[in-house]
Amino acid sequence: MATTTPAGTPIPTLGDAANVPADMNTTIQAVDRNSIPRFASASARDTAFPTPVANQMVRTNGVLQRYDSGTSAWVDLAATAWTAFTGLSANWSSSATQPARYRVWNGFIYFQGFLNRSAAILTTADVIVSVPADATMNALITQMARGNTGGLNTNGVGAGGIKIPVQTYANAQACWLNPRADGGLRVYGNASVSDNSLNLDSIGPVPLSN
């Protein structure tokens, strides 16, 4: 089978030894390796691919996914529906008119809306979400944290994790969000920040993988 398609799928030629089953098996196996298999559930996918490779693609229950070897997880590539923030700490609430929400698309998490604090934002770490009861949100924060178990200092310097720039609503002052490996989410401000509302629309897409 010297003849192949641009993707490397072998095509039988007249010069090949006559063996239709073997030729069909070789071609179908090659096509299968370059196609995106479909599964009705995550368990069916994991049974078929117990040891997936980096960037392998599947479609699970209608959602396109890519295997991220950095986090050992299947990442949704299709946009998910907007999901409301849950498990907010006592000082924090979601805006009634523009609620704080997030969604995942193409390996990134997107934020929308506003988070309000009952008093001015602290100049040191203030917990927005401790460990969320929402398993999905917990997993997403953990992915963003990249193993960071520490916090940022008041200048927004990371301790092995990342800082996510976010602006306050009224004053457009710069703050930082600090995701932690335990699912916690904190905000860090500075001495000049007195606004008590975070504009999540000011956050760009945050990658969920290393």
Model pLDDT, residue 158:
47
Q: pLDDT digit string (tens) for 161-175?
A: 567 888 887 776 777
Higher pLDDT, 121 or 22: 22
Model pLDDT, residue 150:
52
Burial 2-19 (b: 16+ CB within 10 A, else e): eeeeeeebbebeeeeeee
Tokens of 99: 């609620």
Q: pLDDT digit string (tens) for 133-171?
A: 667 777 777 777 765 555 444 444 444 456 788 888 777
Model pLDDT, residue 6:
62
Model pLDDT, residue 156:
41
DSSP state of 122: P
Rounded-to-integer distance, Cα 62 and Cα 65, Å: 9
